[in-house]
Structure 1
Amino acid sequence: MSGDSYHYGDNVTMNGGQGNIGIVKGRSAEPAAAQDPALTAALAELRRLVAELRAQVPEASAALLDESVPAATADAAVPAPERHRALMAIAGIAATVGTVGQPVAEAVRAVVGMIGG
């Protein structure tokens, strides 16, 4: 078995100071199918409701919704504090527009309850 190479963990490739690709993490991501189906459905509903709400709020609020939606996910790549801020921003906008935003606020509460945010 001389010459066989087994590698576990991170891999760094350096090419003379140019074209460096950084660190290749030697981990596999959790498959998307392993995500809770109820959470997947709740997030899809939240995105749908936010899209409807977006058309009914001022442009500054719509821009904040656009910035927040990508982080409002259960993806492990999004740090928990960033996800929490995004969900709270969405809920805050929903709360300020009253009855129109109530379904969005309720959807945020459901998602926060599921991910423990």
Structure 2
Amino acid sequence: MSDGTNHFYGPTVNMHGGTGNTGMVNNHWGPAGGTAGSPALEEAVQELVALLRELRDRVPPLSAQSIDEAVPVLTAGPSVEPQERHRALMAIAGIATTAGTLGQPVADAVRLVLELLAV
């Protein structure tokens, strides 16, 4: 059953007529600042995950569980909805903030990822 909505993922080419057709629409995931697969974004996420592993052992069990739930969302790549990724980053930022000095490097890493995502 179709609702009549068109969804375009990845490169899309529409041909109208048979001659002189040039051009291609590229529908890529990710905002302008940090595109999927960008080395800077991948590096920032990896750094954040490494910092989260360190912080996880130093926070209460419920906070550690929230970190465990957020990491797969952050590392899933473009298959994750932007809202879900943003929600995970905000949860991590909250944990980092409540952890005080221990969480400051994580809070800084979250800020960098958000900047790279242009959120």
Question: Do the structures match in fold with TM over 0.5?
Answer: yes
Is the 8 Å Cα contact of residues 95 and 101 (structure 1) preserved in structure 2? yes
Q: Which residue of 2 aligns with 1:96?
A: 98
- CA deviations 1:44-102 (Å, max 9, x no partner) are 10000000000000001000000011112472210000000000000100000100000
Instruction: Work out which of the two has the higher radius of gyration on C-alpha atoms and give 1 or 2.
Output: 1
Runs of at least 4 residues off by over 4 Å:
27-30
Residue correspondence of structure 1 range 70-109 to structure 2 within 5 A: 70-73=72-75, 75-109=77-111
TM-score, scaled relative to structure 1: 0.69
1:43 deviates by 0.7
- CA deviations 1:11-34 (Å, max 9, x no partner) are xxxxxxxxxxxxxxxx6697xxx7
TM-score, scaled relative to structure 2: 0.68
1:61 alignment partner, one of 49, 60, 63: 63
Q: Which residue of 1 aligns with 2:47?
A: 45
Greater relative contact order, per chain length (Cα 8 Å cut-off, separation 6+):
2
Report sequence identity in percent. 53
- 5+ residue gaps, structure 1, are 1-26
Taking only aligned residues, the RMSD between alpha carbons, in angstroms, comes to 2.3
